Amino acid sequence: METIYSEKLPRILKNKKKLEKILNVKITNRGKEISIQGEPEDEHVAEKVIDALNFGFPFSTAMLIKKEDFMFEIINIKDHTKRKDLKRIRARIIGTGGKTLKTLNQITNCYFELKDNSIGVIGPPEYLEGGQKAVISIIKGTKQSNIYGLMEKSKIKPIFDLGLKE
């Protein structure tokens, strides 16, 4: 049984039935604590999905963690810079009108969400590392255009399914 503290409880409770059905777990709450009961593997996936929902990802994006074997990682801005003006760094990550995040989303095939001084990344395991490197490079001060060019050059070719997965 896993227990998670949730800041966005109404959002999770609104989708409780869907979450229980898709994730094969039983979700109960007491105050702002959410308890997950089920098979250990299902509990782990449910914990990641609920963490993504708490982080601010849309429901459909968070559910990709279960449906398509995506992974969810959190990057802390403070771990990668010594600068004190974190507001400017967050602005560089978002870009003008959200353009940088949108472009990173298209190039890396990952979904990004910014919350306080953290960036959440959801994506396929083979693309996740590239998405993380791109965001960390922006945090460290690399120009966005240089990152786009580098990501385009090192883009992974799509993997074709040979029918080996269940």
Place of tokens 């593997």: 41
Contact status, residue 36 vs residue 29, Cβ threshold 8 Å: no
Q: Which token pair is 93? A: 């990550």
For CATH 3.30.1370.10, list the domain ranges present in the chain. 2-67, 71-153
Rounded Cα distance, 161 and 143, in Å:
36
pLDDT confidence bin for 9, thresholds 50/70/90 = confident
The mean pLDDT of 42-60, rounded to a whole number, is: 90
Instruction: Domain 71-153: give its CATH code.
Output: 3.30.1370.10
Neighbouring residues of 120: CB distance < 8 A, sequence distance ≥ 6: 52, 55, 56, 57, 72, 73, 74, 75, 112, 113, 114
Domain 2-67 is classified in which CATH homologous superfamily?
K Homology domain, type 1 (3.30.1370.10)
Per-residue model confidence (pLDDT) at position 83:
87
